[in-house]
């Protein structure tokens, strides 16, 4: 129970970054899942203050985020960037608020639970006021692997992501739309949000590259966060993260090696009833997970399940997944954490 909330009382909930791409989805998730709350407060920067957003048939005003915004707030869902989280989350906790943070600010803090509800919900109990939402690529990659890992421990993962514009925010989504329109009309378009042309193009994720190991920050998030969420720092992981011209659903190719031999049939059987995932695996029609099908949906789609024929030991499986970056990759996961609170 959030501190300061009396037993049986409905919580007051705040969304920080309410006008952003993830913030809008947070509000929508709270409404669609009939989240029990006494009041919803919408917080954003001064330039967004005064706007209104719809919630349960009402037009709610957006308030400016200030140091005193969290008085009387039981749960705050943050999605406004790591700088805002680092500044305001401790202030919220000091005012009795439990923070579910969608940024990278606290994910590697050993005192902060990093939670995917389908995997490690029990860790929420150890929170000290802040709970971290994992990176979208991590959530979408490992949620389908967890039930396999429990059955036959995963010892190695090779991951290649195909990441949508939504991962870089609403401005990047608009840049994809506008650059595509310009491309089709034969007009020049200079990108301002992302470093390379986006329409009919793809490029390596534009996060900072570690000069020592050659991996970028997005790729290392998959490594570190998987270790923390699975509670297993011995899993060998390599990731390649790429931005592709898709609006809002990430797709990921995963090759994983288990401790013991495992068959595609075993993996399908494990995943057929697993929470948070949906099998889309139809070789006869050549129909497998696609971002168009994952967009707007809660489950992570899983398919193309096959034996890795380069591994004669029979311990490796290749598969393909697609999941909505704004939903399970961000807003939905945060709301599920709040439901557990």
Give residue 1's pLDDT.
52
Q: What is the pTM of this model?
A: 0.94
**Domain layout of the chain by residue ranges:** 12-105, 139-325
What residue ranges of the chain have pLDDT lower than 70? 1-8
**Dihedral (Cα; 36, 103, 248, 77), 10-degree rounding:** 10
250 catalytic? Reply is yes
From 127, 149, 205, 250, the catalytic residue: 250
Structure tokens, 165: 């514009």
Which structure tokens are listed for 6? 């009396």
Class of the 12-105 domain? alpha beta
DSSP 216: B
Beta strands in 65-192 (DSSP E): 75-78, 98-101, 130-132, 154-163
CA atoms within a 13 Å half-sphere pointing along the CA-CB vector of 70: 24
Task: Provide the pLDDT for residue 36.
Answer: 97
| Candidate list 29, 136, 241, 258, residue with the active-site label | 136
C-alpha to C-alpha distance for 152 and 167, rounded to whole angstroms: 31
pLDDT at res. 181: 98
Where does 139-325 sit in CATH, by number? 3.30.360.10
- pLDDT in the model for residue 180: 98
């Amino acid at each position: 129970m959030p501190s300061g909330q009396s037993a049986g009382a409905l919580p007051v909930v705040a969304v920080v970054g309410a006008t952003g791409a993830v913030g809008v989805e947070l509000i929508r998730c709270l409404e669609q899942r009939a989240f029990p709350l006494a009041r919803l407060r919408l917080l954003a920067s001064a330039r967004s203050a005064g706007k209104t957003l719809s919630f349960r048939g009402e037009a709610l005003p957006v308030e400016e985020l200030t140091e005193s915004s969290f008085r009387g707030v039981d749960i705050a869902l943050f999605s406004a960037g790591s700088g805002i989280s680092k500044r305001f989350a401790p202030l919220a906790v000091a005012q009795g608020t439990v923070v579910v943070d969608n940024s990278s600010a606290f994910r590697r803090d050993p005192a902060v639970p990093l939670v995917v509800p389908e995997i490690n919900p029990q860790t929420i109990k150890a929170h000290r006021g802040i709970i971290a939402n994992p990176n979208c690529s991590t959530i979408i990659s490992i949620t389908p692997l967890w039930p396999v890992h429990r059955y036959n421990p995963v010892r190695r993962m090779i991951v290649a992501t195909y990441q949508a514009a939504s991962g870089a925010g609403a401005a990047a989504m608009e840049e994809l739309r506008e650059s595509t329109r310009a491309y089709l009309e034969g007009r020049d378009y200079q990108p301002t949000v992302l470093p390379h042309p986006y329409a009919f193009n793809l490029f390596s994720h534009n996060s900072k590259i570690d000069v020592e190991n050659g991996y970028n920050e997005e790729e290392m998030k998959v490594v570190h966060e998987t270790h923390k969420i699975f509670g297993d720092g011995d899993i060998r992981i390599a990731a390649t993260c790429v931005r592709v011209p898709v609006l809002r659903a990430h797709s990921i190719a995963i090759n994983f090696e288990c401790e013991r031999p495992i068959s595609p049939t075993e993996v399908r059987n494990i995943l057929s009833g697993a929470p948070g995932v949906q099998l889309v695996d139809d070789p006869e029609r050549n129909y497998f997970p696609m971002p168009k099908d994952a967009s707007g949906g809660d489950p992570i789609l899983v398919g193309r399940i096959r034996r890795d024929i380069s591994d004669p030991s029979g311990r490796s499986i290749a598969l393909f997944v697609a999941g909505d970056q704004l939903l399970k990759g961000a807003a939905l996961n945060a709301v599920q954490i709040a439901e557990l609170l």
